[in-house]
A and B are shown apart, each in its own frame.
Chain A
């Protein structure tokens, strides 16, 4: 049977099922295959908070949204074109995300009486006509999988676990994709367990052939290769890029990494990734608590390694006193905050940009530190590399901000060559020239940076600590004038870093436009798409995204003041807005979203549009 093939520029699919249904794996496979094919992709996994929330309930639904296209893709997509649901709860949790007329592929077995009750449906939505405005396709994935594996030696439970492969195979058919990449993945994953390889591949193929032979679908779709800048690409997730950035900074600086960490969502994957790379000289240390994690990293930096610690907001709160210590010690320390919804334990699996104020001001006393934020999953690499460079070269703790959305999202990455990465030069102390000279640990160079004498360097032994120190000698000092001098000198040292970072630029549009959409962090993609659309509409609008949040690039104020109206979308309650307002006396217009979810580009577009005319 020949079926019609429709061309699509861009498609958004949401896979949803029980947290045990393998939706994340399915989504990741579909992403990789499309990326390898040459589409631009962007993904957004949405996990439930509990590892295994009660099966069949709305609380237990795990989702994976991806957007792929032949055009530039900057977000995981606003509304979905296709919703794949493994049970009734998954439909209930996600139906509002589907476009009118969108396709629903529903696993019929997930809509039995038990599933209906657990998800709180009174009538079966597949039968009661409530889904009339959508293109509904019921497929009994569970029985088709069981049927395909009726000869298999696997037990029923293991057979049912293969059903995500049916869905994946079916989607590959729908979007005219090859199975090779996933078959190779299955062979690697179950290496040595031939019966599992056979079963999964069989179900994958069954899903594919089902598309071809069943009468359900009359058309399939094609999304051509995207026109990305020339180069070699791979797919990368934010936390993975962060880990790679740390490894790269270690290689380029010649410093061994010591990564002190305590498990916390959504930062733990950085620990998992780094712990695989011991052959790069990366030492990972799972500490007894957040405080020990940062303190051990400080101890390692004191010993001449690159001390790194990572956490999310609640853990950063615990590390605060130690970050203050590193600030007054003036030693390199990289602190990573993969932000999540707060306050307190908040929304561990949901994204938010609400720790900006914590990063900028969250320490006792006058304790300025550089703060840098990443704007996309692959950008985590470059940004954490920059954060590390600044920490090492300017002898200071640096806060790198990521968030749950960046951490777990994936996109194509034109990865760099190691030879093209900026040099990183540790500021090691030199031996004293004559024997009677006394080493001055807090003597500074023209950048106000002290040098780094590590234990083992002969004749340079010295004492440092958390008490206020005398200028140059580092001896304890309670002298009033010295304290004021030291506080201001430490602040000026950080301020001077603005001379060593790139100038601020515009992402889109021109200086002096009527409206500027000003953002930071993970809102980049949604803002980008909204502003592109506004520009296409002919509006006078520009986009600026600030990566260096402390100190700011030196030209930022001048640029900002060229716009009539500045609109600031943030996934928090106006934090960056307050910073810009207090620093530059600019009366911007905030656009807040505090729902644990990223902006859709439509939300930004609709908000900004009236200000453009």
Chain B
């Protein structure tokens, strides 16, 4: 990514004078830092950038970005930013939301935004818990999790956010980790460059109410065996020594050992434009540390350039203008049949 010479702004220029008030050790700090870096690198001016959030810990985000921003109401950031995008195709718009905000109370707006394909970036901070309300289970909490509102364990089956986004026909779907800053920043930049709705799930550790939820994917000892980083056109390889690969047996993904005779030629080559394969990748969702489990994929699962809603809308507007001419208010009020009374 070459630096855009446009703004000349640095990451710190995007910080505000407000004290950041997340708990010490919260994954949100790392994400904030990378978002500021990514936005600086993307080269948009502060006044051309908008952050919109709903409610939750992550939704404090706009207060810490020296751009235009709105901290709205629970679950509705997606709906509000849809309206903003419909009238303003010149801005860079970022939606900051959490697993409760966008998958529970705002689930409906999320899927409709994705199917409509407004050009904006959705950052879903997934910590698998309700943090702001102090520790209830969320729609991504694993079954059995003991929380304040589930002392005998969670009964709900969790959402798989990547599969949900693909199911709603999202045109850009990626997953990243708060503890992998370089990768996080790179994917944020790609998300913004994608023309259409970009859905980025960010695994974010909540050190207070759900500490270590993603440890198996972030701890030094286990992460290489439990995670796999997707790169377009490259084979699916993972493992401590990059010694394991994934191949497809029909539609069934199978782990092969590259040290025991398997060749990279037979491996699954990642194709970001292949929706069916993206769907299979999304199903790599069991606990990756369990015996024989598939690794958890990170990176861009899927992207394609599909018509954006605002583009189609503006096209319709111009066509109407072309066919009917600029609206004449007096002609509209007069209508087709009038009569005189003298």
| CB contact under 8 A between A418 and B70, given known A288-B112, A292-B82 | no
A289 to B65, CA, bound (A): 30
B66 neighbours in A (Cβ, 8 Å): 461
Asked if A464 and B69 make an inter-chain contact with CB atoms under 8 angstroms apart, the answer reads: yes
Other-chain contact of B68, A285, A295, A462 (Cβ < 8 Å): A462
The yes or no answer to A233 lying at the interface (CB within 8 A) is yes
A291 neighbours in B (Cβ, 8 Å): 76, 79, 109
A455 neighbours in B (Cβ, 8 Å): 47-50, 68, 84, 88, 91
B45 neighbours in A (Cβ, 8 Å): 458
Other-chain contact of B338, A233, A298, A465 (Cβ < 8 Å): A233
A416 to B323, CA, bound (A): 26
Report the minimum CB–CB distance from A81 to chain B (whole Å): 24
| CB contact under 8 A between A300 and B83, given known A456-B47, A463-B62 | yes
Asked if A418 and B87 make an inter-chain contact with CB atoms under 8 angstroms apart, the answer reads: no
A32 to B108, CA, bound (A): 44
Asked if B71 and A463 make an inter-chain contact with CB atoms under 8 angstroms apart, the answer reads: yes
Chain B contributes a number of interface residues (CB within 8 A of A) equal to 59
Asked if A278 and B320 make an inter-chain contact with CB atoms under 8 angstroms apart, the answer reads: yes
Asked if A298 and B80 make an inter-chain contact with CB atoms under 8 angstroms apart, the answer reads: yes
Asked if B327 and A258 make an inter-chain contact with CB atoms under 8 angstroms apart, the answer reads: no
The yes or no answer to A434 lying at the interface (CB within 8 A) is no
- Give A282's nearest chain B residue, CB to CB: B327
- Give B71's nearest chain A residue, CB to CB: A465
Most chain B CB within 10 A, of A244, A251, A283, is at A283
B326 neighbours in A (Cβ, 8 Å): 279-280
A460 neighbours in B (Cβ, 8 Å): 47
Q: Which of A289-338 contact B (CB under 8 A)?
A: 289, 291-292, 295-300, 302-305, 307, 321-322, 325, 329
Report the minimum CB–CB distance from B304 to chain A (whole Å): 23
Asked if A247 and B72 make an inter-chain contact with CB atoms under 8 angstroms apart, the answer reads: no
The yes or no answer to A256 lying at the interface (CB within 8 A) is yes
B67 neighbours in A (Cβ, 8 Å): 461
A295 to B105, CA, bound (A): 14
Scoring A residues 428 to 440 as 1 if CB is less than 8 Å from chain B, else 0, what string do you get? 0000000000000
A459 neighbours in B (Cβ, 8 Å): 47
A279 to B323, CA, bound (A): 9
Scoring B residues 86 to 108 as 1 if CB is less than 8 Å from chain A, else 0, what string do you get? 11101100000000000000001
Report the minimum CB–CB distance from A367 to chain B (whole Å): 13
Scoring A residues 235 to 279 as 1 if CB is less than 8 Å from chain B, else 0, what string do you get? 110000000100110010000101010000000000000000111
- Give B82's nearest chain A residue, CB to CB: A296
Asked if A466 and B73 make an inter-chain contact with CB atoms under 8 angstroms apart, the answer reads: yes
Asked if A295 and B91 make an inter-chain contact with CB atoms under 8 angstroms apart, the answer reads: no
A288 neighbours in B (Cβ, 8 Å): 108-109, 112
Report the minimum CB–CB distance from B236 to chain A (whole Å): 36
A195 to B223, CA, bound (A): 75
The yes or no answer to B1 lying at the interface (CB within 8 A) is no
| CB contact under 8 A between A292 and B108, given known A234-B334, A464-B69 | yes
The yes or no answer to A38 lying at the interface (CB within 8 A) is yes
| CB contact under 8 A between A456 and B339, given known A281-B327, A295-B79, A461-B47 | no
| CB contact under 8 A between A463 and B69, given known A181-B337, A251-B329, A299-B79 | yes
The yes or no answer to B324 lying at the interface (CB within 8 A) is yes
The yes or no answer to B335 lying at the interface (CB within 8 A) is yes
Q: Which of A553-608 contact B (CB under 8 A)?
A: none
| CB contact under 8 A between A295 and B72, given known A288-B112, A456-B47, A461-B47 | yes
The yes or no answer to A475 lying at the interface (CB within 8 A) is yes
Asked if B327 and A247 make an inter-chain contact with CB atoms under 8 angstroms apart, the answer reads: yes
The yes or no answer to B18 lying at the interface (CB within 8 A) is yes
Which 5 A/B pairs are nearest by Cβ-Cβ distance? Answer: A465-B71, A296-B83, A299-B83, A280-B327, A295-B79
Residues of chain A whose beta carbon lies under 8 Å from any beta carbon of chain B? 32, 35-38, 181, 225-226, 228-236, 244, 247-248, 251, 256, 258, 260, 277-281, 283, 285, 287-289, 291-292, 295-300, 302-305, 307, 321-322, 325, 329, 415-418, 455-467, 475-476
Residues of chain B whose beta carbon lies under 8 Å from any beta carbon of chain A? 16, 18, 45-50, 52, 55, 62-63, 65-73, 76, 79-88, 90-91, 108-109, 112, 313, 316-317, 320-321, 323-327, 329-330, 332-335, 337-342
Show 30 A/B contacts (Cβ-Cβ < 8 Å), sorted by A.
Answer: A32-B337, A36-B339, A228-B341, A232-B339, A233-B339, A234-B334, A235-B337, A236-B335, A244-B333, A247-B329, A248-B333, A256-B87, A258-B83, A278-B321, A279-B325, A288-B109, A296-B83, A299-B81, A299-B82, A299-B84, A302-B80, A321-B73, A455-B47, A455-B68, A455-B91, A458-B47, A462-B68, A463-B68, A466-B72, A467-B71
Known: A230-B342, A278-B317. 8 other contacts (CB 8 A): A181-B337, A234-B337, A251-B329, A260-B83, A279-B320, A287-B79, A415-B335, A461-B66
